[in-house]
Structure 1
Amino acid sequence: MLSAHRQDAKQMVKCGVITISDTRTIDTDKSGAFIKELLQTAGHNVMQYEIVQDETLFIQQKVKEMTVNKEIEAIIMNGGTGISNRDVTIEAIQPLFSKELPGFGELFRMLSYQLDIGSASIMSRAIAGVINNCIVFSIPGSVKAVKLAMEKLILPELGHAVGELAKDRV
């Protein structure tokens, strides 16, 4: 049985989608397209979709731009979460959080370990938090990681999270 506040979760969330990549284009971005498809199938609206180069300044600029846009209530980012020097998504957005949701990354790694990649999940970085009263999720860029994060974690809680943040909006 759902608690009262979960029953009042927002049914349609206005979302931004950001793919972090030095190589993907609109035509080759399977993960970004899959995120958009999953959001729309679940009844949410994709208000903006961008591909951003894996550079701290570019990532921060795009996230700040989207989080101040009153038409966007949530952002789902994918890519740039690995452990190579070029992967800077986590380092770019973490300092912008007013609140971090550590359970998101913890659960993502647990599910990755159990359902997908086993011990390689120790290198899997995922993070979520609040920036400018907007929920932001950052997940790895593989289609399998996107499917796992979206279906098991993000979609089940997206409306709930946005509903909680709406309490603070003026």
Structure 2
Amino acid sequence: MLSKHRKEAKANVRCAVLTVSDTRMKETDKSGKRIMDLLIENDHQVPLYRIVPDDKEQIRMIVEKAMYSDKLEAVIINGGTGIAYRDVTIESVEPLFDKHLPGFGELFRFLSFQYDIGTASILSRATCGVANNCLIFSIPGSTGAVTLAMEKLILPEIGHMVKEIHKDVQQ
């Protein structure tokens, strides 16, 4: 049974999909493709898709462009969430947040521990927040992590989250 919130959720969310990687190209970006496929299968739209190098300035620039676009309501970033030196996605996006949603990262790590990679889940810095009334998710770049985050957390709640962000915003 759907809750009242889910029944009133926005059905079609316009999303940007960003893959952070120094090595992937459109032809080899399985995780970005997986995110887009799942969004489209669930009646959401993907007007923006980009592969961005592991570079703070470039990541921040494309995320800012997305969050200030009238055409986008959410940004889903995959890659760059680990603890390696080149993993700078979190440092690039969290300073942009007006509101941080810590429950997303907590739940993702719990589910990742339980269903995917076990104790290695402590290496994930997955995060979510709101910036300029735009929802921003940052998840690991493995296809398993992407599938888990999309199916268990993002797809069930993205419409509800976007509705909540905009419910008392003057248009």
Residue 38 of structure 1 aligns to a residue in which SS? helix
Paired residue secondary structure (2:135): strand
Q: Residue in 1 aligned with 2:44?
A: 44
CA RMSD of aligned residues (A): 0.9
Distance (Å, rounded) in 2 between the aligned partners of 1:95 and 1:85: 18
1:143 equivalenced with 2:134 (yes/no): no
- Structure 2 SS opposite 1:51: strand
**How many pairs align?**
170
Given residue 50 of structure 2, which amino acid in structure 1 is its aligned partner?
A: E
**Could you list the runs of 5+ residues in structure 2 that have no partner in the other structure?**
none
Q: Where does residue 17 of structure 2 map in the other structure? A: 17
The residue aligned with 2:59 is 59
For 2:101 and 2:170, how far apart are their aligned partners in 1? 19
Task: Provide TM-score, normalisation by structure 1.
Answer: 0.97
Matches within 5 A, 1:131-170: 131-167=131-167, 168-170=169-171
Unaligned stretches of 5+ in structure 1? none
Deviation digits for residues 68-110 of structure 1 (CA, Å, limit 9, x no counterpart): 1111001100001110110000011011000000000000000
Distance 2:117 2:13 in 1: 30
What are the equivalent positions in structure 2 for 1:21-32 lying under 5 Å apart?
A: 21-32=21-32
* Cα deviation, residue 5, structure 1: 2.9
TM-score (norm 2): 0.97
Determine helix, strand or coil for the equivalent of 1:82. coil
Shift in Å, 1:169: 5.0
